[in-house]
Amino acid sequence: MTEATQRFFESLPARARTVLRGPVAGTLQIDLGIDHQTEHWLVRMRPGEAQATRERGPADAIWYSSAALFDRLIAGESQALAALLRNESTFSGDVKLFLAFRRFFPEPPGTRDPREVAREVVGRRS
């Protein structure tokens, strides 16, 4: 496990209030593969709360990713849904948990809110 991965999971409880605003509740097991080993994280989510532990256990959903891909996700260099669609990672279970969890990842560098871009365009036309 990389130090960045450790810090990412440690940061979840503090960031959950702003990230998990919708009615999401459940447990997501995240399996990170590196070499021929798998690291397990269990993330329990409720509105405004998240807890991450180094456990395996009963989960409502399981997401498998390589550790290298996960490092790119936490750096904002890749997108979780795109990686899943490209079959770079696999998922099974309650998809709402995956969709909620991916909001913890940063946006790619240079990404802007489309509403902000639209306001600028409208402002230039005035």
- Read off the pLDDT of residues 50-82 as tens digits, 9 standing for 90 and up: 999 998 989 999 999 999 999 999 999 999 999
Domains detected in the chain: 3-125 (3.30.1050.10)
Distance (Å, whole) CA 79 – CA 103: 10
Tokens of 117: 């871009």
Angle subtended by helix axes 67-74 and 3-19, to nearest 10: 50
State the pLDDT confidence band at 1, using cuts at 50, 70 and 90.
low
Tell if the pTM clears 0.85, that is, is over it: no
Question: Measured between alpha carbons, how far is 28 from 48 in angstroms, rounded to an integer?
Answer: 16
pLDDT tens digits, 31-42: 999 989 999 999
User: Which of these, 126, 26, 4, lies nearest to 75 by C-alpha position?
Assistant: 4
- What does DSSP say about strands 26-34 and 61-66: parallel, antiparallel, or unpaired? parallel
The type of residue at 51 is Q
